């Protein structure tokens, strides 16, 4: 976060959709440190959310409602005079998207166009950062992904992110909306209590002395980004967009530029937990997974001055420490 202006966020009125999720919780914390005024859109009560368990939810304005409710979003943007929007709300689990494509499309696509249309109608001039994903690129023969590559998501989650990404570009191009797009690698960090995900599940198994489970064949290659670096990426992009309107409509990759296989990541977690005697169980039951997905983050380095602060080892150690305290 070394490129951030220490005074930019002070008193700035910020809306976060999806504020109880992993990234939303950490982003709220980072904005609180910078004295921003935060409004969070909350659909469900999530007692185990880091935002709730940390007590930070009591320090922000919470609005109850669904991200697909355009009239509600219009009211929030106008009433709270929002200056920056972080649109994170989404159905984010690939397996759930496969089982329930309708719900995924309604939230990920419908929620995005509701927000963009609300911003257009209110004409607030707010900067909007829309969360896309490396999954939006779909399968490509050449890697790493660069921002110029075609978006070709084919499976439900991937396709929902491709659509949301393209809609954000459309609203910038057609209506002049001040919107930019993040395409991040797989985010991980303390506070993620979905034990079916690779990092939380492996961390818990390692700390409890149990063999970790790998749903895939272990060879899937991905880009993993520590959540505090992810929060820094969002803050950097929003601040840059406010200072340089020409960034509107553009997308930026954010990753560690150091892809690893699932099996390599699991072994790195076991090593960080001092549990190298445990042998992972490979289930090989994952479906609709692209073999290799990883990013080239050069544009973010060169144009935004963003760099991740944490190596994979550093991020995993911080993550394990969080889970160690939580499980204790």
- For 146, the token pair is 């660069």
62 three-class SS: strand
Phi, psi dihedrals of residue 69, rounded to the nearest 5°: -85, 90
Cα 240 versus chain centre, distance: 18
Query: What torsion, rounded to 10 degrees, do the Cα atoms 55, 56, 59, 62 define?
Result: -100
Angstrom distance (rounded) from CA 300 to CA 234: 11
Out of 137, 145, 157, 234, pick the active-site residue.
157
Residue 261 near residue 221 (C-beta atoms within 8 A): yes
Q: Counting Cβ atoms within 10 Å, is residue 168 exposed (0-12), middle (13-18) or buried (19+)?
A: buried
- Longest CA–CA separation in the chain, Å: 59
Location of structure tokens 């009591």: 58
Angstrom distance (rounded) from CA 196 to CA 216: 12
Angstrom distance (rounded) from CA 16 to CA 169: 20
Cβ neighbours of residue 67 under 8 Å, at least 6 residues apart? 17, 18, 41, 43, 73, 87, 89, 107, 111, 114, 115
Residue 157 is among the residues annotated as catalytic for this protein = yes
Angstrom distance (rounded) from CA 120 to CA 96: 31
Active site residues: 157
């Amino acid at each position: 976060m070394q490129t951030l202006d220490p005074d930019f966020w002070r008193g700035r009125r910020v809306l976060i959709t999806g504020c109880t999720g992993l990234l939303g919780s950490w982003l709220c914390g980072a904005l609180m440190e910078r004295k921003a005024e935060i409004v969070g859109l909350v659909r469900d009560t999530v007692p185990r959310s880091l935002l709730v368990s940390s007590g930070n939810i009591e320090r922000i304005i919470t609005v109850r409602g669904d991200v697909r409710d355009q009239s509600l979003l219009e009211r929030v943007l106008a009433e709270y005079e929002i200056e920056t929007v972080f649109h994170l709300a989404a159905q984010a689990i690939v397996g759930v998207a496969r089982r329930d494509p309708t719900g995924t499309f309604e939230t990920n696509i419908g929620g995005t166009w509701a927000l963009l249309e609300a911003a257009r109608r209110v004409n607030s001039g707010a900067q909007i950062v829309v969360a896309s994903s490396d999954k939006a690129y779909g399968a490509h023969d050449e890697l790493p992904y660069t921002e110029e590559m075609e978006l070709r998501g084919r499976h439900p989650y991937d396709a929902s992110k491709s659509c949301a990404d393209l809609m954000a570009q459309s609203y910038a191009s057609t209506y002049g909306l001040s919107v930019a797009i993040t395409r991040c690698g797989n985010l991980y960090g303390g506070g993620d209590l979905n034990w079916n995900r690779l990092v939380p599940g492996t961390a818990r198994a390692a700390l409890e002395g149990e063999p970790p489970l790998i749903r895939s064949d272990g060879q899937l290659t991905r880009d993993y980004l520590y959540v505090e670096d992810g929060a820094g990426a969002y803050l950097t992009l929003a601040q840059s967009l406010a200072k340089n309107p020409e960034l509107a409509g553009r997308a930026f990759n954010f990753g560690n530029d150091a892809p690893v296989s699932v099996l390599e990541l699991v072994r790195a977690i076991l090593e960080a937990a001092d549990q190298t005697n445990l042998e992972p169980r490979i289930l090989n039951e994952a479906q609709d997974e692209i073999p290799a997905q990883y990013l080239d983050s050069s544009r973010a380095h060169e144009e935004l001055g963003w760099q991740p602060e944490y190596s994979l080892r550093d991020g995993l150690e911080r993550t394990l420490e969080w889970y160690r305290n939580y499980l204790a």
